[in-house]
Amino acid sequence: MDLGAIADNWRTLAALSAPAECAAVVKANAYGLGVDRVAPALWRAGARTFFVAHFKEALALRALLPDAVIYVLNGLLPDTADDHAAAGLRPVLGSVAEITEWSDYCRDNGTDLPAAIHVDTGMHRLGLSLEEAVQLAGTYRMLGFTPSLIMSHLACADTPGHVLTARQRMVFADVARRFPNVPGSLANSAGTLLGRDFRFELVRPGIFLYGGVAITGVPPLRPVARLEVKVIQVATAPAGETVGYGAAQRLKRASRLATVSIGYADGLFRAAGSSDLAKGVEAILAGRRCHLVGRVSMDLATLDITDLPEGAVERGDTAVFLGDGISVDDLAARSGTIGYEVLTSLGARYARRYVGG
């Protein structure tokens, strides 16, 4: 895990976004890479505002960064206002019930505690309806708290030219102007790249910080994660034999096979395997790309090394699944998924080593 690359990626986005503030999304254990190491590296790089999904994530982050601004994206569960207040956390309020509960808590305790207001501009997942947002805009100064952020989330910003993206920006701009002097935030990683009109006062990049593709066709920033596993056996098999569970792939030639210590319990998806109908993911062995052969099992996968020189691969050698030109999105595409899922699925059995930062 290259903390220096994560910090550089944040600095690149911060410079691009100025004068808007560049926050950092570190939910899901910093996209699977380890929030205990990633968040302090981002703080040292200059990030001061962070977003997580859950209250427990926010508590862990508060222990790491006592002075950070921390927003909880999944909102305010019933009877948790006191817990959020005690930890200095800012809930993202996406319903009238949440807003009422936070407002009442602030009034009852004689304190004005910051929180964000989330408006649904077309994703239909979380947030106030447009009608509720417009109604609130006329009375929000009478709340028991002062909103610190008005925000929404883009549904299709990673797809160039999608009609919903422009419509969401227009709707959000109309809503945000109804809350004067409250900073606005619409842009995720992809939205940050779409231009000044999408950035408002604060951007919330996630996947682009971690070396993934944010918009189809736009190259990622510096790669962050490298994934290496060990070869535990080298063997041969004759043509016509099958490899792995379900006999999903039959060998068309006499083959040399390297079985490596990685499986779906480690985040190498079962769909990443090969069959007679389709080739699966690749890994690099002895400087060459080699395809998986057969299905991925819980703890093991098998690579076809027939095209490598005899003796080029031995037990204990290293196979690279991420790095040396294989990006997180390359691995994802071969697995039928997205880079986000690859990173957040990296298993607990890996020995993690951090460099830079």
Say how many domains are in the chain. 2
The span from the CA of 283 to the CA of 229, in Å, is 10
- Do 83 and 195 lie in one domain? The reply is yes
- Do 35 and 167 lie in one domain? The reply is yes
245, pLDDT greater than 90: yes
Rounded to an integer, the average pLDDT of 201-226 is: 95
**Which member of 27, 105, 140, 264 is catalytic?**
27
In the 3-class helix/strand/coil scheme, how is 68-96 assigned residue by residue?
CEEEECCCCCCCCHHHHHHCCCEEEECCH
Q: Is 279 a catalytic residue?
A: no
- Do 192 and 264 lie in one domain? The reply is no
Which residue is listed with tokens 């909103």?
A: 147
Say if residues 6 and 209 touch (Cβ distance below 8 Å): yes
222, pLDDT greater than 80: yes
- Do 298 and 184 lie in one domain? The reply is no
- Do 247 and 196 lie in one domain? The reply is no
241, pLDDT greater than 80: yes
**Whole-number pLDDT of residue 243:** 96
Rg (CA), the chain: 24
Query: HSE-up of 206 (CA within 13 Å, CB side)?
Result: 21
357, pLDDT greater than 90: no
What is the CATH number for 171?
Answer: 3.20.20.10
For 71, the domain range is 3-210
Task: Tell me if 356 is assigned to some domain.
Answer: no
- Do 250 and 278 lie in one domain? The reply is yes
- Do 249 and 139 lie in one domain? The reply is no
Of 152, 180, 210, which closes a domain? Answer: 210
Task: Tell me if 327 is assigned to some domain.
Answer: yes
291-337 confidence digits (pLDDT tens): 999 999 999 999 999 999 999 999 999 999 999 999 999 999 999 99
The span from the CA of 237 to the CA of 247, in Å, is 13
- Do 247 and 135 lie in one domain? The reply is no
Q: How confident is the model at residue 57 (pLDDT cuts 50, 70, 90)?
A: very high
Q: Is 31 a catalytic residue?
A: no
Q: How confident is the model at residue 194 (pLDDT cuts 50, 70, 90)?
A: very high
Mean of the per-residue pLDDT values of the chain: 96
**Whole-number pLDDT of residue 24:** 98
- Do 167 and 245 lie in one domain? The reply is no
Of 210, 241, 258, which closes a domain? Answer: 210
277, pLDDT greater than 90: yes
Query: HSE-up of 143 (CA within 13 Å, CB side)?
Result: 28
**Whole-number pLDDT of residue 334:** 92
| Residues near 318 by beta carbon (within 8 Å), at least 6 away in sequence | 228, 229, 230, 231
Task: Tell me if 220 is assigned to some domain.
Answer: no
- Do 288 and 206 lie in one domain? The reply is no
116-151 confidence digits (pLDDT tens): 999 999 999 999 999 999 999 999 889 999 999 999
**Which member of 56, 230, 245, 350 is catalytic?**
245
What is the CATH number for 327?
Answer: 2.40.37.10
143-174 confidence digits (pLDDT tens): 999 999 999 999 999 999 999 999 999 999 99
- Do 71 and 157 lie in one domain? The reply is yes
345, pLDDT greater than 90: yes
**Whole-number pLDDT of residue 62:** 98
254-272 confidence digits (pLDDT tens): 999 999 999 999 999 999 9
